[in-house]
Each structure stands twice: as structure tokens, then as C-alpha cells.
């Protein structure tokens, strides 16, 4: 979750802590909606606040606490911050291999993640430029990380996790629509994922993209992808569907 206040972070965490495996604090998001509120990457320049937030959560929650950061101006600065974070007692640290000013097209610096891995005793999760199945092992080996996090690669095509190779994005998209209908996924979340897929593989300026933007409900999306019968079946049998969860 994003936060800029230790007390508020604990209040929010207590609301969900019994329903999740861990609480992770995002300290790497460079988007304006995040940093304008003092959250995400805005925390990277406030180590004392980072300490307050993480220690507050660690002292008052029974679930593991983790966080994610980006690289700082120098590898030494990042390592120093990572060590301070480790001292708060977090269970793991995720590191995105780019600096705040870097663009998505700039290559992730896996080597600088390796510097952090070498300096810490807690697990380090490597993130950045994971777009193919083989990239998981490549970044894990290059950084020496305990595990790997995928973001855009998984958003564009979730079959990135298959060792058999990625499926065509159209097939993944259709299955995603059906899963969203089945699980009553939030329509804004569904639209966001579909728009990301379409922007990557096609264009939002084409009829499909424009229709997604105009969609207001899952029923609209089901109609767009000719899944009306499936949508109707799921909703007519919602009691049975809920019972199978």
C-alpha cells in the first residue's frame, strides 16, 4: 500500500491484515498521484519517515512487513538506505532497478540490485525488465536475488509465467475477461488491465480501445468480447459460483 503517515498506515493495515499474507509498503512509485501525497518514491528522501512507518507496522502487526524501493543517485546511497530498512525488521526488500528519473525504456540496472543483495541478510526481490519467462532466471542470477517481481510484463501478458512460452495476447485477453466476469472483478481494474494490454500490442485509438474506454460495467465488456452468454450464465448461477470459491 501507499502511505506517508505511520499511524494512518497502521490503521489501514489493521483493516486487512487478517485477509492478507503480508503488508508491503510501496516506496518506489514515481507517479504524480503517489508522490504528490508524499507516498511512493517521495519516501526515498525521508529515511526517518521510512523508519517510523516500518517500525510502527512491525511492532503492531502479526503478519510479515515488506517494502519496495527504487535505486538512489548512487549505489552506495541505495545500499545505505537498504541497510536502514533492514534494521527495522522487515521480512524482505523489493528493489526496482531504476532511479526515479529513469524512464521505462531505460534498461534496469540489475548490477546495482546485486550490490544491495550483497549488503543485506534478508531476502531481496529483484524487479525491472522481466518480460519473458527466461528473464526470471536471468535477473535472479545477475542480481543474486532471492526471488523476482514482474510488473509490466505480467500486466501485458500473464502467460509470462508459463515455462511453455507465452500464449498469444488475444487468447490471454479473452481469458482475463472471463476471469473478471467470474470473480466480479472491479470494472475499473478490469479496464485498466485491458487498456494496458491494448496499448502494448495494439492501440487505444482503434475501435476496440475506444470501446474499452467507454465501458462502464462488466456487462459492457462482456458484450464487447461477445461473452454475453457467459456473463448471463455466471450471474444467473451466482449462488453456485460463490459457493465454489
Q: Would you say 49 and 4 are in contact if contact means Cβ atoms under 8 Å apart?
A: yes
Active site residues: 29
Write down the H helix ranges in the chain: 6-16, 32-35, 47-60, 75-87, 110-119, 133-143, 152-156, 169-182, 187-201, 207-214, 218-224, 228-236, 238-243
β-strand partners of 26: 68
* DSSP letters for 72-127: -SSHHHHHHHHHHHHHTT-SEEEEEEEETT--TTSPP-HHHHHHHHHH-SS-EEEE
CA 176 to CA 181: how far, in whole Å?
9
Amino acid at each position: 500500500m501507499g502511505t506517508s503517515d505511520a499511524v494512518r498506515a497502521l490503521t489501514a493495515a489493521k483493516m486487512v491484515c487478517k485477509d492478507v499474507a503480508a503488508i508491503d509498503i510501496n516506496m518506489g512509485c514515481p507517479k504524480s498521484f503517489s508522490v504528490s501525497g508524499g507516498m511512493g518514491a517521495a519516501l526515498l528522501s525521508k529515511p526517518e519517515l521510512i523508519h517510523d512507518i516500518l517500525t510502527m507496522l512491525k511492532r503492531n502487526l502479526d503478519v510479515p512487513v515488506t517494502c519496495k524501493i527504487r535505486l538512489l543517485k548512487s549505489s552506495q546511497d541505495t545500499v545505505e538506505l537498504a541497510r536502514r530498512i533492514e534494521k527495522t525488521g522487515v521480512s524482505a526488500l523489493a528493489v526496482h532497478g531504476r532511479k526515479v528519473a529513469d524512464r521505462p525504456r531505460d534498461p534496469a540496472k540489475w548490477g546495482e540490485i546485486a550490490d544491495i543483495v550483497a549488503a543485506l541478510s534478508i531476502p531481496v526481490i529483484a524487479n525491472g525488465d522481466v518480460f519473458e519467462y527466461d528473464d526470471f532466471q536471468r535477473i535472479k542470477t545477475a542480481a543474486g536475488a532471492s526471488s523476482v517481481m514482474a510488473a509490466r510484463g505480467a500486466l501485458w501478458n500473464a502467460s509470462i509465467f508459463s515455462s511453455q512460452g507465452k500464449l498469444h495476447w488475444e487468447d490471454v485477453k479473452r481469458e482475463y475477461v472471463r476471469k473478471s466476469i467470474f470473480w466480479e472483478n472491479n470494472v475499473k481494474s478490469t479496464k485498466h488491465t485491458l487498456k494496458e494490454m491494448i496499448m502494448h500490442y495494439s492501440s487505444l485509438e482503434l475501435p476496440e480501445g475506444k470501446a474499452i474506454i467507454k465501458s462502464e460495467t462488466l456487462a459492457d465488456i462482456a458484450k464487447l468480447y461477445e461473452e454475453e452468454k457467459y456473463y448471463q450464465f455466471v450471474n444467473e448461477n451466482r449462488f453456485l459460483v460463490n459457493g465454489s470459491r
